[in-house]
Structures are given as C-alpha cells and as structure tokens.
C-alpha cells in the first residue's frame, strides 16, 4: 500500500529516554533508536517486559520527549512545538490505548468516550451518537451508563479502545489493546482496529505479546534493552 516515496509521518533519530538521569536508579529505557514510520503503516512492537515498548509509544504519541536525540512529526521537531500545539496534536491526531486503560473513574463509559470530543465543540447530540456507536462497535451496547468500577477488565479495555477512536485520529497507538481479552473479543477488537485503519488510511502501531495479533501486522519491530533489534516486513 506504500509506494516508498511517501515521507515519514513520525521519525525518531538517535532518540534516547533515560529515567532518573544521574541518580542511583537511572534507567536507560530507550537507547539511540532510529525509526521512520510512514503514514498508513500497520506495525507491531514486541519484546520482553521492561524493554521500553511503552516508552517508545509515549515518544511516538507526544506524551513524552526524548532525553537526547530527536522526534519529528511531519518533519517538525517535536521539541520545537509548544505544549499547546502538542496537546492539540494529541487531541485531534492521536488515539492512545493505554496499557492500563486509564478510564476516568468518575465518568460513565459513554462520558469517557465523549471526553476527547468536548474541547472540539462537537455538538452534544453528535457526541452522544458517536460515543454510543463506538461503544456498540466494541460490543458494549447497553453499558453506556456503567462506571469503570462496574466493568470487567476486558470491558474497560474496550471502552478505552472506543475512547481512542472518538476523534477519528490518523495515528492509533495501542499498548497491548487485547491483553485482557479472550480469543473472541481479541479477534473482534483487532478486526475493528484493522478496519478503522483501512477505512481511513490510519497508521496503527500496536504493542503485543500475542502472535495472533502481531501476525496481522505488516511490519514487525522487536525490542530488547531499549533498542530495536529487529525490524522486518514492508514499510
């Protein structure tokens, strides 16, 4: 689907992320990673626990900045963007499915899905319609008014997926989006993400341990100790 001449959407050059620099518990979670991601790519990230997958996703999703090296979005160095611009990009351009879901506990399932639409002034009726539609797509019809503590882990995870799709982002970053799901639901969520990506030519990057999930991706990254040790498949 890529003709090879499209410029990269997100680019990491020698990007490193060190936690607790110059302290006793300094952790180099990412080490000099070079990576170029084309628009519309479908990419899986694998690797043992603690190898830096979430850290990489945070940099790709503008949640964090590298301690050295550079991240560029559309050729613009992320470091040169204001906090406001980065917020705006996250709001409209990125759908993030967190490893631990992070639903807001005081909001219902539907309110959680509506939340990212509010700052964009989506009219209320449209918000409700879209949120209910997304919840139905992840198989949570009828659970709109449930609070997160009334949902099972898998249900929470599916609400998180619906929320990530709320503003129809061009980039989907999913940190083990099917970790809590049974085979049936895993397949359903995966089908949804794949369909969304195909419909909108969105970029889909997912972290997973599940071979069934990673097999659907076109490009496969393997990480170890903060470095990308394998990068196979089409770009």
Partner 1 sequence: MRGFGWGRSLRHVRLQWVLAVSAIAAAVALPVVLISVGGGVSAHELADLQNAGYQIVVSAGGSHGISGAHALAQRIARIGSVTVASPILSVAIDAFNSTSPTAPVSPVLAEGVVPGQFTPTLGPTESGLFPSPLPLGDPTDLVHYDNGTYRGPATYDVLVSTPLAAAKGIRVGQQIVLSPSTNRSLGVAYNVTGSFGVPPSILGPTGAFAVLLPLSDLQVMTGYGPANASSVFDAADTIEVAVAGPVSDNPSALTHVRDEIQSLVPLYGVTSLLQEAQQLESASAVLTGFYLALSSVGLSVGLIFLALVLLRRVETDRRSIAVRRALGLPARTIAAGILTEGAVIAALGALVGTLAGYVVVESLARWATSTVQEAASLAVWEPFTLGAIVAGVVGLSALAGGVATRAALRVEITEALR
Ligand X SMILES: Nc1ncnc2c1ncn2[C@@H]1O[C@H](COP(=O)(O)OP(=O)(O)OP(=O)(O)O)[C@@H](O)[C@H]1O
51 in contact with ligand X (CB under 6 A): yes
Nearest to 35 by CA among 18, 59, 19: 59
Burial label for 92, CB within 10 Å (0-12, 13-18, 19+), is middle
Q: Which of 15, 29, 89, 135 binds ligand X (CB under 6 A)?
A: 29
- Residue nearer to partner 1 on the CB measure, 181 or 217: 181
Q: Angle, nearest 10°, between helix axes 124-137 and 153-164?
A: 130
Site size toward Mg ion, by CB under 5 A: 2
115 in contact with ligand X (CB under 6 A): no
Q: Which of 67, 92, 99, 235 binds ligand X (CB under 6 A)?
A: 99
- Residue nearer to ligand X on the CB measure, 43 or 196: 43
- Which residues lie closer than 8 Å to 165 by C-beta, 6 or more apart? 95, 134, 172, 196
20 binds, among Mg ion, partner 1, ligand X, none (CB under 5 to 8 A by kind): ligand X
- What is the smallest separation between the CB atom of 148 and partner 1, expressed in angstroms? 6
**Interface with ligand X by CB under 6 A: which range of 47-55, 109-117, 164-172, 211-219?**
47-55
119 binds, among ligand X, partner 1, Mg ion, none (CB under 5 to 8 A by kind): partner 1
Q: Which of 16, 38, 44, 54 binds Mg ion (CB under 5 A)?
A: 54
Residues contributing to the site for Mg ion (CB under 5 A): 54, 99
Binding site for ligand X (CB under 6 A): 19-20, 27, 29, 49-55, 99
């Amino acid at each position: 689907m890529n003709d090879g001449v499209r410029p990269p959407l997100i680019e990491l050059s020698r990007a490193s992320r060190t936690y607790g620099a110059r302290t006793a518990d300094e952790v180099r979670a990412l080490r000099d990673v070079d990576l170029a991601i084309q628009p519309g790519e479908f990419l899986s990230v694998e690797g043992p626990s603690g190898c830096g997958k979430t850290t990489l996703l945070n940099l790709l999703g503008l949640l964090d900045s590298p301690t050295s090296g550079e991240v560029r979005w559309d050729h613009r160095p992320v470091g040169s963007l204001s906090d406001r611009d980065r917020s705006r990009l996250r709001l409209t351009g990125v759908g993030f499915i967190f490893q631990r879901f992070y639903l807001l506990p005081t909001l219902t399932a539907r309110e959680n899905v509506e939340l990212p639409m509010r700052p964009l002034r989506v009219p209320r009726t449209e918000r409700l319609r879209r949120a209910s539609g997304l919840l139905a797509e992840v198989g949570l019809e009828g659970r709109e008014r449930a609070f997160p503590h009334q949902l099972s882990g898998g249900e929470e995870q599916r609400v998180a997926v619906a929320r990530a799709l709320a503003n129809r982002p061009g980039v989907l970053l999913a940190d083990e989006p099917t970790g809590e799901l049974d085979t049936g639901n895993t397949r359903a969520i995966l089908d949804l993400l794949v369909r969304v990506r195909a419909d909108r030519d969105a970029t889909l990057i997912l972290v997973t341990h599940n071979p069934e999930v990673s097999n659907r991706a076109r490009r496969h990254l393997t990480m170890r100790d903060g470095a990308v040790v394998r990068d196979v498949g089409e770009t």
